[in-house]
């Protein structure tokens, strides 16, 4: 099939590349000429495991091309994916100006039947707005489909190639058939392609992400309560998660969720509710709790250093909002670093992928290290913010020699309290006894 993807951010790039993988001819459109040139030269502008291999292979096969020319892009595809940013507005709602801006141009340019697919995460009612915007000037027939993505950063290629479900929201039988044909090779395992009305499809994405954020937040609250009453959240988590109605996944407490989706989507769903005179009270609590959770370890650090962090050197392991990504959007590590710097502490940081992004924010206010042990060398304490695998089994003997005080603040519960007690470390984590 001939397909156009407008917007080569994270979602657009993964979508375009993975759709090319099954033999479709993809044109990706982006208005950033420098980025387009880089992609033409085979440079993947984001870090996402396995994407580079697919990217090279499909460029080589001429199934994946890039342009800044929207009109040419629109001429090419029978299906046009809109993978445009929907940033958070000041009031928490999703800013639709990019999506509707391109919709206007689609109306101006299309000359034959097109399926316009909203891939961006958009509030209920956006498909209707996109349709109305295109219809103002369109001289050809078109259908609008809501097709939310459920890609996790770090696993996006696998999630796209082997999705647990595909959601297609449209009232057009013709568009539904085209979309089913397009996705058929990806659901060979028997996972469903769910066709529904467009509003339900739009809401599915927000509801799924908000539910997951709520699940994590509930567990963070349980963890905070565990600390108060002397229970161990690890036992509670397993005790709960083995009930198949609850499930083991997404029950890991920590210093809060971050990233480009959960924070934005929870706030956007809350705001959409408000606009419809509906109060999503649970989401209000989720936002508040998560905000506090991100800096949860700071008072513990202050307590340990008797409110005197000035001049102390803190090694920070992990800056990305989660492992396997270089994304630092809403990353708890940055909230902790801000507080540490404000308190006069020095920060030595290490992350396997995200350092360049963090350098842009802090410059020389933070010392960026080449490896995890360079960060801990001579530091007063270690703070762990992201659960990269490399941090899971450190050389504790070396760490003890390097740190001027054997203390670890762990925002991701990477070690057991028993093992660290045995090794004679002070160990402060989330929802468990400090030793
Ligand atoms: C999420 C959704 O999973 C994906 O379906 C959607 O399309 C985009 O948003 P992503 O933001 O890449 O994907 O990250 P995810 O792996 O879901 O983790 C989100 C956040 O929750 C991270 O900050 C992570 O550290 C945190 N988390 C996750 C926990 O704190 N505890 C858990 O048990 C799981």
Instruction: Give every CB contact of residue 199 below 8 A, 6+ residues apart in sequence.
Output: 124, 125, 127, 146, 169
Query: Is ligand 1 within 6 A of the CB of residue 391?
Result: no
* Residue of higher predicted confidence among 49 and 375: 375
Distance 152 CA to ligand 1 centre (A): 7
What sign does the CA torsion over 315, 321, 323, 324 have?
negative
Check pLDDT > 80 for residue 205.
yes
CB atoms closer than 10 angstroms to residue 199: 16
* Residue of higher predicted confidence among 91 and 309: 309
Instruction: Return d(Cα 307, Cα 225) in angstroms, integer.
Output: 24
Query: Is ligand 1 within 6 A of the CB of residue 10?
Result: no
Per-residue confidence band for 93, with pLDDT thresholds at 50, 70 and 90:
confident
List residues forming the annotated binding site for NAD(+).
30, 35, 86, 121, 153, 264, 329
pLDDT value, residue 143: 98
Instruction: Return d(Cα 234, Cα 327) in angstroms, integer.
Output: 27
Q: pLDDT of 351-402, one tens digit each?
A: 999 999 999 999 999 999 999 999 999 999 999 999 999 999 999 999 999 9
Check pLDDT > 90 for residue 89.
no
End-to-end CA distance of the chain: 60
List residues forming the annotated binding site.
30, 35, 86, 121, 150-153, 205, 250-254, 258, 264, 322, 329
Per-residue confidence band for 41, with pLDDT thresholds at 50, 70 and 90:
very high
Contact 387, 410 (CB under 8 A): no
Q: What is the residue with the minimal CA distance to atom 5 of ligand 1?
A: 150
Domain 2-196: give its CATH code: 3.40.50.720
Largest pairwise CA distance in the chain: 74
Out of 48, 153, 156, 236, mutate this one to test ligand 1's pocket (max ligand atoms within 8 Å of CB): namely 153
Can you tell me the mean pLDDT for 207-232? Answer: 98
Kindly name the residue from 18, 28, 226, 261 that is annotated as catalytic: 261
Contact 301, 337 (CB under 8 A): no
Scan for tokens 């490399």, then name that residue: 390
18 part of the active site: no
Residue ranges of the chain assigned to CATH 3.40.50.720: 2-196, 297-428
Domain 205-293: give its CATH code: 1.10.1040.10
Per-residue confidence band for 255, with pLDDT thresholds at 50, 70 and 90:
very high
pLDDT value, residue 212: 98
Query: Is ligand 1 within 6 A of the CB of residue 170?
Result: no
Phi, psi torsion values for 84, nearest 5 degrees: -105, 155
Out of 263, 322, 354, 430, mutate this one to test ligand 1's pocket (max ligand atoms within 8 Å of CB): namely 322
* Residue of higher predicted confidence among 402 and 120: 402
Report how far apart, in Å, the C-alpha atoms of 304 and of each of 295, 309, 380, 425 are: 15, 9, 11, 13
Would you give the DSSP letter of residue 254?
Answer: S
Distance 269 CA to ligand 1 centre (A): 17
Q: Which fold has domain 297-428?
A: Rossmann fold (3.40.50)
Out of 257, 334, 385, 410, mutate this one to test ligand 1's pocket (max ligand atoms within 8 Å of CB): namely 257
Query: Is ligand 1 within 6 A of the CB of residue 394?
Result: no
Q: How many CA atoms lie within 13 A of 220 on its CB side?
A: 25
Query: Is ligand 1 within 6 A of the CB of residue 261?
Result: yes
Can you tell me the mean pLDDT for 230-242? Answer: 97
Residue 186: closest CA among 155, 162, 156:
162
* Average of per-residue pLDDT values in the chain: 96
Enter the pTM of the model: 0.93
Check pLDDT > 90 for residue 331.
yes
Residue ranges of the chain assigned to CATH 1.10.1040.10: 205-293
Query: Is ligand 1 within 6 A of the CB of residue 153?
Result: yes
Check pLDDT > 90 for residue 120.
no
Beta-ladder partners of 145:
117
Per-residue confidence band for 92, with pLDDT thresholds at 50, 70 and 90:
confident
Check pLDDT > 90 for residue 121.
no
Check pLDDT > 80 for residue 154.
yes
Instruction: Return d(Cα 186, Cα 18) in angstroms, integer.
Output: 10
């Amino acid at each position: 099939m001939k397909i156009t993807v407008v917007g080569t951010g994270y979602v657009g790039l993964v979508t375009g590349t993975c759709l090319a993988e099954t033999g479709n001819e993809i044109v990706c459109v982006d208005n950033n000429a420098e980025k387009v040139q880089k992609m033409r030269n085979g440079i993947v502008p984001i870090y996402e495991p396995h994407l580079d291999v697919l990217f090279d292979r499909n460029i080589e096969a001429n199934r994946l091309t890039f342009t800044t020319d929207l009109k040419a892009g629109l001429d090419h595809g029978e299906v046009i994916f809109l993978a445009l940013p929907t940033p958070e507005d000041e009031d928490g709602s999703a800013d639709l100006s990019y999506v509707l801006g391109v919709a206007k141009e689609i109306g101006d340019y299309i000359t034959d039947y097109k399926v316009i697919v909203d891939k961006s995460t958009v509030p209920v009612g956006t498909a209707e707005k996109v349709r109305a915007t295109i219809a103002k000037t369109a001289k050809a027939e078109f259908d609008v489909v809501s097709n939310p993505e459920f890609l996790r950063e770090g696993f996006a290629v696998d999630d796209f190639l082997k999705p647990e479900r595909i959601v297609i929201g449209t009232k057009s039988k013709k568009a539904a058939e085209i979309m089913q044909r397009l996705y058929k090779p990806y659901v060979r395992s028997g996972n469903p392609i769910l066709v529904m009305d467009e509003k339900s499809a739009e809401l599915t994405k927000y509801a799924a992400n908000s539910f997951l954020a709520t699940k994590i937040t509930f567990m963070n609250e349980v963890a905070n309560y565990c600390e108060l009453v002397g229970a161990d959240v690890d036992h509670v988590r397993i005790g709960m998660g083995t009930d198949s109605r609850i499930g083991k996944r997404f029950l890991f407490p920590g210093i809060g969720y971050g990233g480009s989706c959960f924070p934005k989507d929870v706030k956007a769903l809350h705001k959409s509710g408000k606009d419809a005179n509906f109060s999503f009270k649970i989401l209000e609590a989720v936002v508040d709790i998560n905000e506090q959770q991100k800096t949860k370890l700071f008072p513990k650090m202050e307590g340990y250093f008797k409110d005197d962090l000035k001049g102390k050197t803190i090694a920070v392991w992990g800056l990305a909002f989660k492992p396997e990504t270089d994304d630092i959007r809403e990353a708890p590590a940055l909230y902790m670093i801000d507080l540490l710097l404000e308190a006069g502490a020095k920060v030595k940081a290490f992350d396997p992928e995200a350092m360049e992004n963090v350098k842009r924010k802090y410059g020389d206010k933070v010392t960026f290290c080449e490896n995890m042990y360079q960060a801990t060398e001579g530091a007063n304490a270690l703070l762990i913010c992201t659960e990269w695998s490399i941090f899971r089994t450190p050389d504790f003997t070396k760490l003890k020699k390097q740190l001027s005080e054997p203390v670890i603040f762990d925002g991701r519960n990477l070690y057991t309290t028993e093992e660290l007690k045995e090794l004679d470390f002070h160990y402060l984590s989330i929802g468990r006894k400090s030793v």
